[in-house]
Amino acid sequence: MRPFEYSSATDIGDATRLAAESTRTRFIAGGTTLVDLMKLNVETPGRLVDINRLGARHAYMTEVAPLPDGGLRIGALVRNSDLAWSTVVKERYPMLSEALLAGASGQIRNMASVGGNLMQRTRCYYFRDTAMPCNKREPGSGCSAIQGHNRILAVLGTSNQCIATSPGDMPIAMVALDAVVRVTGPQGERTIPLVDFHVVPGTRPDRETVLRQGEMITAVDIPALPWARRSHYRKVRDRASYAFALASAAVALDLDGTRIRGARVALGGVGTKPWRSMQAERALVGQAATPAAFRAAAEEAMRGARAYTENGFKIELAKRTMVRALTTVAAMA
C-alpha cells in the first residue's frame, strides 16, 4: 500500500470540494473493497476522504426513510446489514433484502455501505493482478481475460477492450426496482436512474459510472411499487456463502390471476453492469405465468450474449436461474 493523505469530512460540501481537487481522491465509508484494492496497489489514491461522520449533519445519509409518494429513501451510509433486516424492505421489497443477505459475509455486511456497494469494482483476476495487462486498470495495456481465464466474467455488455463482470448483488435488485441514485458534487445535486448510472466498457473500460469529478452518492430512492412484494432474488454460485454470482436474477411479477400485467427482470453475474432486461419484461407482459413464457423471456434476456473461452456455460445458467426465480415468484400467494 502506498502513502496517502487522510481527511475526515463533516459536511457534504467539504467532502465534495476535497474530492474535486484531484482525480486521485477517493471517498471511504466501510472500505470493504477500496482497502483491499489499495493493498494490491490496484487503487493508489493520493487522498482518502472519510465520510462516515457526514451522518451527524446530514441525517438522511444514515437512514431508511419513507418518501411522500410511498417510496423509500436509503441513505448512502446505511450499512448493508441494516438495510437487509429493515422491516419495510423485507415486507415491500423482499428481493432487495434477499440480494443483500446473499452477498459477502455477515462481518462484511456490517461494514459495507449502500453507496460503496454501488461503486464496488470487478473481481476479474487480471484487474486485481498488477503484473498483468488490464485496460480497466491501465487503459491501452490490453485485456488479458479475453483469451485467458474468464470463467467468472461477463457475457453481456462486453467489448473487445474488456469483459469484466459487475460483481454486486444489491445493485441487481435495485436496478430491477427502478432505483434512482442521488448525488451531490461541485455543481450541486442531481439524480440518475440506476439503470443509467453504470456504463458498459466500450472503448473506455476504466470509466465505470457517469459520476463527475468530485460527485458523491448521498442516497438511493426506490419508488413505490406495490407488486414488488411478490419478488425474489436467486443467486447461483460455486459455494453456499461468501461467493460472487455465476448468475443471479432479481424478478418481480404483477399478476392478474395467472396473467402477467407487469414484470421486472435484472440479471447479475453475467453483465459488465447491473443488467436490467427490458426485453424480457416486454416478453412477459400479457402472457400466462407458465414455464414456457418464462423460458421465452429468458431467451430474450440473453439474446446477444457472447461466450468466451471458459464462460459459455453462463448463458444457459442465467436462463435457468431466471426461469427458476420467476417460477418461485409466480407461486407466491
Per-residue pLDDT reduced to its tens digit, 173-182 = 999 999 999 9
Q: What is the pLDDT of residue 307?
A: 98
Say what the pLDDT of residue 308 is: 98
- Residue 142: pLDDT over 90: yes
Average pLDDT, integer, range 323-327? 98
As a whole-number percent, the residues of the chain with pLDDT over 70 amount to 100
Edge-first strand listing for the sheet containing 5-8: 5-8, 47-50, 25-28
| % pLDDT > 90, the chain | 98
- Domains belonging to the chain, first-starting first, are 5-53 (3.30.43.10), 228-330 (3.30.390.50)
State the average pLDDT over residues 6-34: 96
pLDDT digits (tens, 9 = 90+) for 248-260: 999 999 999 999 9
Asked if the model's pLDDT at residue 240 lies above 90, the reply is no
pLDDT tens digits, residue range 180-235?
A: 999 999 999 999 999 999 999 999 999 999 999 999 999 999 999 999 999 999 99
CA distance 199 to 18: 25
Pairing of strands 247-256, 231-236: antiparallel
Q: Indicate the pTM of the whole model.
A: 0.97
Task: Report H helices in 218-310.
Answer: 278-284, 291-301
pLDDT of residue 1: 87
Residue 241 has pLDDT above 90, yes or no: no
pLDDT at 311 over 90: yes
DSSP-assigned beta bridge partners for residue 47: 5, 25
Has residue 333 got a pLDDT over 80? no
- The string of DSSP codes covering 134-191 is BTTTSTTS-BSSSSS--TTS-SBS-BTTB-PPP--SHHHHHHHTT-EEEEEETTEEEE
pLDDT surpassing 80 at residue 237 = yes
User: What pLDDT, on the 0 to 100 scale, is given for residue 185?
Assistant: 97
Mean pLDDT calculated for residue range 97-105: 95
Under 8 Å CB-to-CB from 148, ≥6 apart: which residues? 125, 126, 309
pLDDT for the residue 242: 85
Inter-residue long-range contacts of 141-146, CB under 8 Å, 24+ positions, other chains counted: 143/205, 145/308, 146/308
| Average pLDDT of the residues of the chain | 97
